Amino acid sequence: MNNRKWIWIGIGLGSLLCVILPLICLGIGMLSLTGGTSAGRMWEDAVAVVRIEGVIVSGGEPDFPLTTSSNAYSESIIQQLRQAAEDPSVKAIVLRVNSPGGGIVATDEVYTVLSEIEKPIVVSMGEMAASGGYYVSCAARKIVANPVTLTGSIGVISTVPNYEELLDKIGIQILVIKSGPMKDELSPYRQPTEEEIAHWQGITDEAYEQFLGVVAEGRDLDLEEARELADGRVYTGRQALELGLVDQLGNLPDAIDLAADLGGIEGEPRLIEYQQAPSLIEMLLSGISPFPASLSVDDLLGIERRFTVQYLYVSP
């Protein structure tokens, strides 16, 4: 009887934990969305801080991440921006950008939402705000960069792997059955044709012209002035200031002060930091070192299996 009693007690405690832990996670998630300020200041005017850290990709953050990620998910960023825009106590937004850019669609999705927000937006650039990271920054009223921030890289890069010689060496042949001559365009299993390269060059050029338009509009530049700066090179924050790509030099506290001023906040502003609430598994594993993500040959070579067009700075 005693053993059975303790078994039932264990089952009961386990069930209770299954109820309590998600509530704890929810509570922490709510705190993360309302900021870490004291309850006594919760009704004061605030500056919201939204972060874009890592490669900008489409979609939302995974519910149960078991590995570390260096991605900035567009849907999650957009959700945080809309929360800040709809919160009446938020008078201005600081967008902290530390990103080499990413996918052209994900980047433009974030930029579009930023452009629709009527509240003052100030970008604070971290170590890098290049390519797509600069693209989204152009939606801000003001841009603050550290003197040695790497920014710019205004342009588009398209990449496709080619495994033809490797497959020949190991004796593998790929049979392709297709409905039209362009159905397998830029296939990684053979050399691309001139027609394929020309077709995708046109797509890359179209994305580039869109980027130019964003820079020209956001920085109040003539289109040809923007084109002279947009050969793909990166600039330091100090160089970008001289070229008119950023407004002033400084760090996150400087951007917060500037945003507070633009939002009409007197004195030290209350800060609200919008971030993804930790999942239950993250909570349970918080004291354990993150599982390393498995590496493939593609990861080691820095390539993807499919053709990609990106607003992305590729460092040497």
Give catalytic residues, as residue numbers: 131, 183
Nearest CA-CA partner of 106 in 150, 151, 140, 136: 136
In the chain, how many H helices and how many E strands?
Answer: 11, 13
Amino acid at 276: Q
Spatial distance between the Cα atoms of 193 and 162, rounded to a whole number of angstroms: 13
Query: Mapping DSSP to helix (H, G, I), strand (E, B) and coil, where does residue 95 land?
Result: strand
Helices in 139-245 by DSSP H: which ranges?
A: 164-170, 194-218, 223-229, 237-243
Residue 235: its H or E element: strand 234-236
111, burial (CB in 10 Å: exposed 0-12, middle 13-18, buried 19+): buried
Spatial distance between the Cα atoms of 281 and 22, rounded to a whole number of angstroms: 10
Are 241 and 146 spatial neighbours (Cβ–Cβ below 8 Å)?
A: no
Spatial distance between the Cα atoms of 131 and 51, rounded to a whole number of angstroms: 16
Structure tokens at 176: 């392709």
Structure tokens at 138: 């152009």
Are 93 and 117 spatial neighbours (Cβ–Cβ below 8 Å)?
A: yes
DSSP track, 99-116 = E-EEEHHHHHHHHHHHHH
84, burial (CB in 10 Å: exposed 0-12, middle 13-18, buried 19+): buried
